[in-house]
Every structure is written in C-alpha cells, then in structure tokens.
A and B are shown apart, each in its own frame.
Chain A
C-alpha cells in the first residue's frame, strides 16, 4: 500500500506516493525522474547513490523515502546554481576526473560535503572523505587532484578553465 508524502528535493517540494518500504534512490530516480543519482550495489558499499540530506552525505539506497519527509535533499542536479557549476564540478572537468561517469555524481557530492567542512583538505583527508565512493575507471589519482583543485577554486587560489 502506498502513502502520500512530500519530499523537498533541490529546493522544490514534490508530492509523491510511495510504499513505506521504498528507498530514496528509487523514488528519486523512478518517481521523481532525476536519474543523476546512480544505483550500484544497493547495500551501502559503493557510494554511487550518495545524496546530501540536510547537508550530510547520505546513501540513498539505505534510506527510506518516508524517513526524508521534512528534510532537505540535494542531488547532483541541484548542486549547480543554474548554469553556474559548483567548484567541485568545475574542478572535475579541469582535471579530467571523469571517465564512464557512473561514480561521478556520488563522488562530487561527497567532495562538496568535505569542502564545506574544510576547504583546505590534505590528500589523506580527501581519501578518507571519499573512501565510501568506489570508482572502477580512474584509479582515483585525478579525482583526488580535482578535489584539491576545487578547494583552491573556492579559496580563490586557482581559476577554472
């Protein structure tokens, strides 16, 4: 049986119907139709489904949609301000940190959450923050470089392009 619920995603309220057993990742992708959030393992190991809930990086495959009522959900679609990309997005482009792209939305959101707490992270701090986001293409080197670069974009020490 489905229940009605209101979810706030990327600043917009959505009135939806979902069963109590529905996971946030499926509701975001299938009901709302925002497919930037990816689903990999479904059990917490890969981080592809990462979204921000009240600013915290959260695995949407292990979060019930009903548990998100009254909270602010941000998906990869909501990170840029219109056409103005988030510094992490710019940095991923600058450093060529994307290959197939499946891990990228989750990586970018985890990195954005890290930089909000600390815009001068060490390489070890970057690796710790991204340990729950698996990438099977890049070998991680360029991703770590991109996050470092994003911190510099935020502090004005480097420029995009």
Chain B
C-alpha cells in the first residue's frame, strides 16, 4: 500500500478544530471531501504532515433561508445536497444547476462547495455563480469571525485571502429582488465529468420600468488565473436599455476583459468567442426568469 505518511485527525467540535488548526499552522491541511486534496497528495504535489478532517462537524452543516439575510450554506454541505436542496432551487437555481454540473454523482456526494472555492482553481464550477450572487463568505478562526465579499477572496492562481489559522465557515447569498435574477452558463468538451473550458455567472437587476439595467454582474471562469468579474463591462452596461445593443455590448465587453490562454481544453481565440456567447445567453436567461416571475405576480 502506497501509504504516504501524514497524520489524520477528526476533531469532534468546531472549537477543537480551530485550536488544532491554529496550533499546527502550515503543517496542517483541512480535509473536506478530499476530491482535490487527496488527488494532489497522491500525485505528490503536496505533502502535508497533518490532515484535519472537518467533514462531519455538525456546526458546518445546514442550508437555511431568511427573507432578510438570504440563503446561508455551511462549509460542510456536500455539493450533492446543494444540487437537491429545495431552498437552493427556489432562491438560487443557478447555483443548484452549477452544483449538478460538478464532477460525477460520486464526486458530488463527497465534495463540498467550500473545497471547490478554497482550492481556487480558475476552472472551478461554483465561483462564477457565487460571484454573480454577490456572495459573502463567512471566515472563521480561533480569534473570531469576519465576513468577506467573495470578489475579494481569489488573489492569484490557487491563492486565496485566507490567513494562517483561518478557514471558510459558510456562504451567504443575499436575497434576490423581485426584478433580479442569476444565471449560469458553461461550456465543456462533453456533458459530464468535465473540467469546464469556460464558465460564466450572470446577475441582472432591472429598474422598475422593466427595461433598463439597474445592475449587472458578469463573472467568468477559465479565462484567467482566477474567477473574476468583468468590472468595466458591468459599469458600462448599467443604465442601458436592455435590447440587442445591450447584449452585444455585454458580449464584446466580456471578450475584451477575458484573458484566456491556449491549453489542452481550448484555444484562447475560441474562449474569447465563447465567453461572449455565454454572456448573451446568461443575460437572456436572467430576462426570462424575471419575466416569468412578473407574469406570475
């Protein structure tokens, strides 16, 4: 058995975990579903001394919705639970859709969204939707808690804003206004078990007139070293009438702000073209969602 040598501990409470994580520093790695971490260890890209298994901590479980606070999801929640959750389907359907596109069924039952976000791969499934939602991250440590907008979390390729001793405790997605929606669009080589060659989360909020863009967020993955928002395009689209010219400006804008590379999955040129198409489709899907909600009201 190719037993690589590390120690394993499964703390019984969040407090115990925080103390262990604080005292072991860089020698310890958090183990959630292990679907990224254990692959890295097996491929000998990483050799931690201690794995702290947080996957059964009751304090990190649970999905809840509150009309004022929005949707909260604990760091220990499995991707498969997010995919199936009635609350997520109702209040963040694009996130349920993104979750259903991550890996295989087995991977989804093992993996957490916290692991997906903390691994900080630019091709990751969930960050673009979370960025589109304006998600706030709840960050814990022995010293206490802080909140951070997810837009400030990804610093560089696989580098996050977590400081030593800090961990991701949960996610908060603010409630969506009646005239706002989020959509997720992705492109891969096949339909399942695929690392995306491009993915995009979109948020659109309309003015009371139902025709003017009040606020737009466009978050892209796989077109740079991190998942990030096309801030200049978002600013430009604000206040525009939502018509063909608006969609064309969005498509051209994200293509200009994308900085993709050629790799095994796609060429930079192809990615530049597809990101615009996805922005167009994502915005159109937002309009459909807002429209159907209006018709029901």
Contacts and interface: CB of A to CB of B under 8 A. Distances in A.
B97 to A, nearest CB: 13
Interface string B25-67: 0000001001100110011000000010101000000000000
Contact of B39 (A20, A56, A62): A62
Contacts of A23: 1, 38
Interface string A75-118: 00000000000000000000000000000000000100110000
B193 A45 contact: yes
B106 interface: yes
A135 to B, nearest CB: 13
A105 B220 CA distance: 39
A132 B8 contact: no
Interface in A41-70: 42-45, 47, 50, 56-59, 62-64, 66-67, 69
A128 B192 contact: yes
A110 B1 contact: no
Contact of B107 (A21, A44, A128): A44
A44 B55 CA distance: 18
B214 interface: no
A153 interface: no
B105 A110 contact: yes
Contacts of A56: 80, 109
B85 to A, nearest CB: 14
Nearest to A1: B5
Contacts, number: 92
B56 to A, nearest CB: 8
A148 interface: no
Interface string A129-158: 111110000000000000000000000000
A30 B53 contact: no
B103 A19 contact: no
A63 B33 CA distance: 8
Contact of A21 (B5, B55, B105, B193): B5
B106 A67 contact: no
Given A59-B107, A62-B110, A67 B193 contact: no
B106 A19 contact: no
A131 B8 contact: no
A43 B109 CA distance: 16
Contacts of B51: 20, 64
B104 interface: yes
Given A19-B3, A44-B39, A64-B34, A57 B106 contact: yes
B42 A43 contact: yes
Contacts of A50: 106
Contact of A131 (B7, B53, B105): B105
B23 interface: no
B10 interface: yes
Interface string B70-94: 0000000000100000000000000
Contact of B34 (A26, A63, A133): A63
Interface of B: 1-8, 10, 31, 34-35, 38-39, 42-43, 51, 53, 55, 80, 100, 103-107, 109-110, 191-193
Interface of A: 18-23, 26, 30, 42-45, 47, 50, 56-59, 62-64, 66-67, 69, 110, 113-114, 127-133
Q: Nearest 8 A-B pairs (CB), nearest first?
A: A132-B104, A131-B192, A19-B3, A20-B8, A21-B3, A56-B109, A21-B4, A57-B106
Given A43-B43, A63-B110, A131-B191, 14 more contacts: A21-B5, A30-B1, A44-B106, A57-B106, A59-B35, A59-B107, A62-B39, A64-B51, A64-B53, A128-B105, A131-B104, A132-B104, A132-B192, A133-B104
